[in-house]
Amino acid sequence: MKLGRVLRILISLILLVIVIANVGADRLWETLTTIAPIWFLIALAFHLCGIVIRTLRWAILVRSLGVQVSFGRLFYLYMAGTFFNTFLPTGIGGDVVKIVDLTPDSGGARAFSTVFADRLTGILGSSLIALIVALFDPVDVPPALVTLIALVSGGILLASLLLTQQRLIDRVMRHVPGWSKLLSKGKIRRVYEALTSYSIGVIARSTLISLPFTLTVIASQVALARGLGLQVPVQYFALFIPMTALIQMIPISFNGLGVREGTYQALFGTVGVAGDQAVAMSLMYYVLRVVTGLIGGLMYLIGNLRSTRSKAASDLEKIEGARTPDRDSRPDAE
């Protein structure tokens, strides 16, 4: 195992120990064991609905580049991606799997661009919901947090719009030393062209689909909170979930563990949620992701087994065909 992965795991363990020690292990365990199974299943249903919506968003991006892949295959890749995102240290292992598996159909550059644009417009959609809530329901929301959300939303919106402005980027960047030399490299040029080949309409549709996806994320975490007996107003989830998602993307921990729990404790603590309750919500959401990841892993295993059997059967047919001479070429027995 590489040193970087070991360090991420160690950082997650250290952060978890600090967070759990801070809130009290006994109190945390008592809170976790109060989860109502029915609410967990409701949260799981919302979470799976969210993956269906994310697949639809990805399909829009994929097909806008002229790549014809069925919705079922994209959903299969998304579910497989959840397995690798959950159980690999980086948190982007699932993205790599999606890129690799989509490359035969689209080419590596376009596969990478669709996964990148999918991530970006997803973050943009959740950030916009957070911004709307912060602006129109600012009760108990610190002004600094509203400002931070606005800056993040604006930055991601700008980055998303740049995906549609290849000519503008070319005009601006041609004055930058080394830009032309960089693009002279074939792979980099193909990735750049794929990243900047989307229309505003495609990015807008992808972002709009991100809005109901974000609502499913909020709904699943509200359901977990209800299952733990917590009555946290919905608007706080809309505010804090996007910020937590951005923070845990910083590559310093194993799948955001420790970072996410500390962030939940800090953010939900500002609106009166006890530390053990905030950390319990975060840990239950991680359990939810693990369950979804295991489902995705099972789908990936079954898919690979079917693919292997199909390939083996095809190879066997070729071998049998080579061994069996054509009837017309056989010599007469007379």
Give the start-to-end residue ranges of the domains of the chain: 3-18+37-163+198-304
How far lies 142's CA from each of 128, 236, 247, 271, 296, in Å? 17, 12, 18, 10, 39
Is the pLDDT confidence value at 2 over 80?
A: no
pLDDT 10s digits, 157-190: 888 888 888 888 888 887 788 887 787 787 888 8
Average pLDDT over residues 97-111: 87
Q: Using 50, 70 and 90 to split pLDDT, how confident is the model at 334?
A: very low
- Does pTM surpass 0.85? no
Q: For residues 194 and 111, is the Cβ–Cβ distance under 8 A?
A: no
Is the pLDDT confidence value at 140 over 70?
A: no
- pLDDT, residue 322, reads 64
Task: For residue 32, give every residue at least 6 positions away whose Cβ sits within 8 Å of its Cβ, in sequence order, or none.
Answer: 228, 280, 283, 284
Write down the residue that tokens 């995705």 correspond to. Answer: 296
Q: For residues 263 and 154, is the Cβ–Cβ distance under 8 A?
A: no
Q: Give the tokens for residue 298.
A: 């099972």
* Nearest Cα residue to 80 out of 103, 51, 121, 108: 51
Average pLDDT, the chain: 84
CA–CA separation, 125 vs 114, rounded Å? Answer: 16
